[in-house]
Structure 1
């Protein structure tokens, strides 16, 4: 997998949340990851929300595909509702 991101956004994520986008990219390697369209608003491009486990913690990574590359837009640790959503996608 090939990733890219805006370095300023990655740094802001690190400063606000304690991890950068390089760390968040690990969620893509969770074999139980769940990907859903991000249709919360019209972004002018197709965006997706990935729910994935990194070292026992669920993360949500918003991304788009550009020329075959995964472009990370934002990331955060999943809240309780998002963790339940991840669990439901695995265990039904």
Structure 2
């Protein structure tokens, strides 16, 4: 898997949500990850997705991402809410 990050998102996720790029990327290797279309944030020119997954740190995260030029571009990554955790844990 290849990832594409911009400097702003790296800083934002670490400062605001305490999620490093390595932790966010580790979610894509969770065998129980759940991916949904993010219809609220998708546009005609860019489809976005929401993922619930367990990170290498053992935290359940919500990761918003898109795919650009064959690379995964993480937009945001944060601790999953209670509702999001329940959805993940029931899967």
Regarding TM over 0.5, the answer is yes
Deviations 1:51-91 (A, max 9, x none): 11013210011111111111111111101000011123x2x
* Structure 2 partner of 1:35: 35
Q: TM-score, normalised by structure 2?
A: 0.87
* Structure 2 partner of 1:11: 11
Contact conserved, 2:41 with 2:48, CA < 8 A, in 1? no
| C-alpha distance in structure 1 between counterparts of 2:63 and 2:42, whole Å | 18
Q: TM-score, normalised by structure 1?
A: 0.86
* Structure 2 partner of 1:74: 76
Structure 1 consecutive aligned stretches of length 4 or more whose deviation exceeds 4 Å: none
In structure 1, runs of 5+ residues without a counterpart are none
Q: What secondary structure does 2:47 align onto?
A: coil
In structure 2, runs of 5+ residues without a counterpart are none
Q: How much is the aligned-residue C-alpha RMSD, in angstroms?
A: 1.4
* Structure 2 partner of 1:51: 52
Instruction: Count residues with an aligned counterpart.
Output: 89
